[in-house]
């Protein structure tokens, strides 16, 4: 946790309602941090279904491997998350730690080890001693309550400057169901996949394969469209739990992803995913501005997204935004370096509503003054129209400041 809270932090937090079938406890295990919580357990009632999306890193952490093994079972009873140590690149010791954690958690929750999910975040390459926290799990299970979502978000923070929570209530048929989510960033954030930890739970009775389909699709325009520094983490984990508790209140169980009753839930879930993904960007290390980049007129949507990410990941674009400089020449550069089809002489570029470049040249009507004023705002929109097709995509990032360098120049020590 940083001393200084991001200027883009939410002004207030939503009141997080209970999700029937989910109980939460946090503890100070002292794994790395002192005087703060660093351990989270989420107890899930019997029958909870689970879906997940993980990092595409070729060097995933031990907990990611562990979750991937358990995911096909589709059932979850307990989630254990620690911050301060990622248990990544820890070899055989890492696998022993996840095995020991799985066993201790299963014993505490009274479930099978295949119903345990876990995640770790923090330093890479340091062995994580399970003895530091597994002895706490039994007591935590006993103390867990339904009203600790904000505490949960706090316990999983690393360099985040604020906890990230979101909630929405939607209809499933005639019955209200709720979706709660938490997330943490704040560096090593790039798409493929979400490059962060996020845990979402609902009381909706939805079968695991349907959840998986919703989640895999939902991350495309949300968690997989944000980038802080292009660095894909070894530990990215997004889990979605459905306790099904709303069935007791008359909600019908959804087994078919094409069920029309699922639409409001799908929209609600996507809102939560986008909300949390943007909160991660807004807390990007050293971030002072949120940057939304939209590419239109590309050969295809896929091409548009690649161009948008080329702009979003360009250090020169990001430092220009930090310097409140509408340096659209660097946007041209980033379009050009993406390698995607583009015609220089058809390219147009906007910062906010100010069109700076049109069809391959500086816009003659472009106002330096209006644009300079616009660049002072803390939410910057950049749009590039490629002019050769109908492909469109939007991604989000933050500016690159000296604070990013300061934070990452001495994170480990």
Positions marked catalytic = 195
Closest CA to 206 of 272, 255, 248, 267: 255
List 172's β-bridge partners, or say none.
175
Binding residue (CB under 8 A) for its own copies from 5, 15, 59, 353: 59
361 marked ligand binding residue? no
Alpha-carbon Rg for the chain in angstroms:
22
Residue ranges in 9-48 that form contacts with its own copies under rule CB under 8 A: none
Distance CA(88)–CA(61), nearest Å, equals 4
Do residues 389 and 299 touch, judged by C-beta distance below 8 A?
yes
Closest CA to 238 of 374, 363, 54: 54
Do residues 290 and 401 touch, judged by C-beta distance below 8 A?
no
Closest to its own copies by CB, 159 or 198: 159
Residue ranges in 228-257 that form contacts with its own copies under rule CB under 8 A: 229-234
**Residue by residue, what is the 3-state secondary structure of 303-371?**
HHHHHHHHHHCCHHHHHHHHCCCCCHHHHHHHHHHCCCCCCHHHCEEEECCEEEEECCEECCCCCHHHH
Distance CA(133)–CA(82), nearest Å, equals 9
Binding residue (CB under 8 A) for its own copies from 11, 92, 258, 376: 92
Mark the segment that binds its own copies (CB under 8 A) among 16-24, 37-45, 253-261, 355-363. Answer: 355-363
Closest to its own copies by CB, 279 or 314: 314
Closest to its own copies by CB, 143 or 319: 319
Question: What H or E segment, with its residue span, contains residue 267?
Answer: helix 263-282
Residue ranges in 178-237 that form contacts with its own copies under rule CB under 8 A: 187-188, 190, 192, 229-234
184 marked ligand binding residue? yes
Total chain residues near its own copies (CB under 8 A): 73
195 marked ligand binding residue? yes
Closest to its own copies by CB, 300 or 327: 327
Residue ranges in 112-131 that form contacts with its own copies under rule CB under 8 A: 123-127
Residue ranges in 310-329 that form contacts with its own copies under rule CB under 8 A: 313-316, 319-320, 322-323, 325, 327-329
413 marked ligand binding residue? yes
Q: Which residue ranges make up the annotated binding site for substrate? A: 158, 184, 195, 285, 408, 413
């Amino acid at each position: 946790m940083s001393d200084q809270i991001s200027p883009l932090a939410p002004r207030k937090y939503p009141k997080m309602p209970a999700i029937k079938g989910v109980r939460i406890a946090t503890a100070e295990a002292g794994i790395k941090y002192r005087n703060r919580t660093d351990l989270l357990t989420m107890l899930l009632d019997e029958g909870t279904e689970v879906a997940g999306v993980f990092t595409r890193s070729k060097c995933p952490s031990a907990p990611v491997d562990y979750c991937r093994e358990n995911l096909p079972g589709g059932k979850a009873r307990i989630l254990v998350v620690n911050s301060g140590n990622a248990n990544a690149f820890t070899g055989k010791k890492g696998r022993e730690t996840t095995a020991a954690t799985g066993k201790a958690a299963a014993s505490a929750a009274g479930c099978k080890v295949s119903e345990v999910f876990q995640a770790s975040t923090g330093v890479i390459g340091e062995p994580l001693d399970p003895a530091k926290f597994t002895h706490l799990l039994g007591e935590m299970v006993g103390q867990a309550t339904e009203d600790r979502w904000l505490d949960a978000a706090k316990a999983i923070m690393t360099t985040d400057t604020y906890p990230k929570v979101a909630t929405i209530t939607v209809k499933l048929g005639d019955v209200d169901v709720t979706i709660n989510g938490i997330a943490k960033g704040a560096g090593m954030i790039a798409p493929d996949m979400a490059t962060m930890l996020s845990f979402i739970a609902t009381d909706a009775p939805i079968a695991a394969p349907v959840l998986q389909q919703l989640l895999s699709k939902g991350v495309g325009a949300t968690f997989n469209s944000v980038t802080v520094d292009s660095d894909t983490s070894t530990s990215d984990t997004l889990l979605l739990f459905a306790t099904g508790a709303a069935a007791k209140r008359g909600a019908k169980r959804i087994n078919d992803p094409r069920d029309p009753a699922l639409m409001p839930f799908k929209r609600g879930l996507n809102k939560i995913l986008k909300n949390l993904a943007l909160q991660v960007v807004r807390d990007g290390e050293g971030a002072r501005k949120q940057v939304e980049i939209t590419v239109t007129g590309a050969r295809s949507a896929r091409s548009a997204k690649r161009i948008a990410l080329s702009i979003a990941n360009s250090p020169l674009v990001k430092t220009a935004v930090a310097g409140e400089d509408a340096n659209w020449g660097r946007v041209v550069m980033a379009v050009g370096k993406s390698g995607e089809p583009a015609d220089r002489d058809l390219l147009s570029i906007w910062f906010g509503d100010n069109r700076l470049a049109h069809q391959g040249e500086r816009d003659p009507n472009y106002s330096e003054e209006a644009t300079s004023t616009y660049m002072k705002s803390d939410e910057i929109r950049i749009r590039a129209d490629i002019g050769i097709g109908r492909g469109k995509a939007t991604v989000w990032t933050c500016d690159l400041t000296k604070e990013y360098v300061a934070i990452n120049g001495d994170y480990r020590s």
